[in-house]
Structure 1
């Protein structure tokens, strides 16, 4: 993804910028694919067994199970990233101001919330307390987070005021150190790289790789995400962009008059698997070029979408009136489908250029498709998003939206968290001996919630969303720097 964050695994590309920006490409994957050279590419192609909607025998059960999972979801907890005193090490005044949440990541029992100001706070779901701030330098402005499940660590990407925010640095901190309130126990990553604008770093969870680009010397480097060992580099000033898919990378070179040169490389060792030119319409702007395994998607301004099979060079075209350039993609590697986002709407397509699903009730809140408030489950069957509330929801006025859970394969809305159907959280826990919160550590002690917001207020101006599949909890952040926990 370019310049933003991923909601459900896959690649995340972070460019050097004083402030975060919205991205346009996200990849979603259930589990990493491994490939090696040509065999890896061939094996990934062999795995492309089309999974039609009707072939899912358990679809009815899965749908009812999903509805039950989200049926009685309520507002349970509230965390605040704002501290009037600010993180103890912070000296920059603007870091101490209340700021909206731009990213939420959960790892085990810890919820990380990143504010637009650059302050990142860690909260414990066991104690419902703030553990610490992750800013370990007085002028550190954290811009992005990435949970590396390969070594159970959190990677922070930061810029620094002393450097005029012109370059960024990456740091890896073990989750256990954060739990012990030792955020400064991490270590720096990619120190040898000159990551100044327009350089970038891309964390690819699908293949277990990291891609860096040093604009200073026009060199791309690929690292192993497990141990951060450099694997190989690509030095070619004509490379304009690199797209990553399971097992492969697509190199897009500088556009010629009537074509664009392309190369497909093995992600494991950089071996060139295929080189070819793709013909273009002269004097037409290229809206996007995307790679999905053996399928290449190319769209030019006011032209049809082209889907090219790079093995057979079979070309499929989709009318420009049917497929208009989206603002973002999410590729679903498990289902061999892709989602497009345009004008607050979501659609599902297959690689024959056919519209598979239109969602019946999933009008996104943000027109620019902020992918930080969209989550795709690991099975890639559900999409959870912050949406426009129903017009008949009397409590949803002004900036109050709803959290919608929809089935990706059918478009059906399975559950909705909205102001009118969510009762406010009581001050005392009603779960009795079954409460999992450590606050209820005695049979005679009530669990006192710290929630100050009403349900309608918690559903107002949501700016980030994350779903913890193991705990079955939704975490949302808003413009005030508050994080809310929704659970049944």
Structure 2
């Protein structure tokens, strides 16, 4: 699944900055949980066919199912009052035929896509607040990261449960991970499936530890109180140390054994805040407040700059490693850049709904040729709280919008629902009466417009070719063709 960092703060703030290779991880400066898929993008000779095929896959997407994370009958053994409240879905993860939906309250529900039934809640203890999810494809298990009322929500606890156990309705059949680690604030745990590693930080003794994601054995530790931040890239880690007035010390380590590959200083403008320092293979990106973007080649120390008027500090990054490109997110817009500091692509008709770049509402496909996002409505007068947005699918390399799910074309298709439905017609041509009959047979209570209101999380299941969205009411909707 996606690599990400989870900090020990029981209620992280909503601001976000994202890094990615295959999947995205979190912003360490503000200690918030972020996610965005980090998958390698490859150059394909059959690009035209790929675009055509993508359009075909998404053009008939429509609403087919609805799940509810709320438990009004109290089947989930919870004792904390706020866990009983209906809250928005903040994270969706799919593994095989199971959909996991995490609500902001900390309740996590598992649904079987084949039976369309809720299997169970993953909250094993009555005072457990689940903070984040991670699917470990190495052993087909789900890792939950939680805090507990009995611990005053101050420490992260990790648990691994095989998907098969969850399918049987036995979420308590898992086992605890990293029990020896003290993950109190501002400690964190970060899962990185790109390198198959787990990084933990114990703030109590200022020790970073790297574990193998396959068997959770500890590989090595880094003990240095001067380390301010660690950034992970394929095969390497970048250690950022406390800055001096004129420079910041940096080290590049092998992710496998912690061997120091290179140590150097990067010069800084005095008395200027560092907006970000990012590592992309051999490229180091450094941006200070009101200064130009610096792109340093760490192999030969070549340095180039991009004007601050051309490249303004983004709220999020996605690195596309194979194509030597990266995405930036700023004020609802998405752009593609190369490492010469040139703007490669601007997206048409892909204005994000959320201004803070809510990466739960963005999905990058495994080939990283497509971006699926929750976007603004077509007309400006519809763009307000409580109105319907759209799910846009765009080509990353061309910026073209390939398909869109909106309140017009996302209506349920009567003839594709269960045999108990009546009426005829399909797509946007279906009458309101026919759509309502279809909704009842398909267990969909929301209208398409309602399902597209205030989407708070989005996930694309590439194997099933289905899009899953969650909204502020705690509902999960399935879009399929």
1:437-481 Cα shifts (integer Å, max 9, x gaps): xxxxxxxxx993110000000000100000000000000000000
- Alpha-carbon spacing, 1:362–1:219, altered in 2? closer, same or farther (3 Å): same
Q: Distance in 1 between matches of 2:390 and 2:355?
A: 15
What are structure 1's unaligned runs of at least 5 residues?
1-8, 31-48, 433-445
In the alignment, which residue of structure 2 is the partner of 1:42?
none
The 5-angstrom pairing of residues 47-446 of structure 1 reads 56-391=44-379, 398-424=386-412, 426=414, 429=417
- Alpha-carbon spacing, 1:392–1:92, altered in 2? closer, same or farther (3 Å): closer
What are structure 2's unaligned runs of at least 5 residues?
24-39, 421-438
Residue-pair matches, total = 446
In the alignment, which residue of structure 1 is the partner of 2:455?
462
- Residue 15 of structure 1 is aligned with which of 2, 7, 18? 7
1:395 is displaced (CA, Å) by: 11
| Contact 2:62–2:409, Cα closer than 8 Å, also in 1 | no
| Contact 1:335–1:380, Cα closer than 8 Å, also in 2 | no
Q: TM-score, normalised by structure 2?
A: 0.89
Secondary structure at the aligned position of 2:296 is classed as strand
Q: Distance in 2 between matches of 1:478 and 1:182?
A: 27
Q: TM-score, normalised by structure 1?
A: 0.88
| Contact 2:240–2:251, Cα closer than 8 Å, also in 1 | yes
1:142-185 Cα shifts (integer Å, max 9, x gaps): 00000000110000000011111111100000000000110000
1:333 is displaced (CA, Å) by: 2.0
Q: Distance in 2 between matches of 1:87 and 1:352?
A: 56
Q: Distance in 2 between matches of 1:276 and 1:211?
A: 23
| Contact 1:344–1:369, Cα closer than 8 Å, also in 2 | yes
- Alpha-carbon spacing, 1:169–1:424, altered in 2? closer, same or farther (3 Å): same
1:246-302 Cα shifts (integer Å, max 9, x gaps): 000000000011000000000000000000000000110000000011110000000
Q: Distance in 2 between matches of 1:425 and 1:76?
A: 8
- Residue 472 of structure 1 is aligned with which of 451, 454, 465? 465
In the alignment, which residue of structure 1 is the partner of 2:21?
28
- Alpha-carbon spacing, 1:140–1:58, altered in 2? closer, same or farther (3 Å): same
Q: Distance in 1 between matches of 2:112 and 2:275?
A: 43
Secondary structure at the aligned position of 1:483 is classed as strand
Q: Distance in 2 between matches of 1:192 and 1:392?
A: 53
1:94 is displaced (CA, Å) by: 1.2
Q: Distance in 1 between matches of 2:254 and 2:19?
A: 20
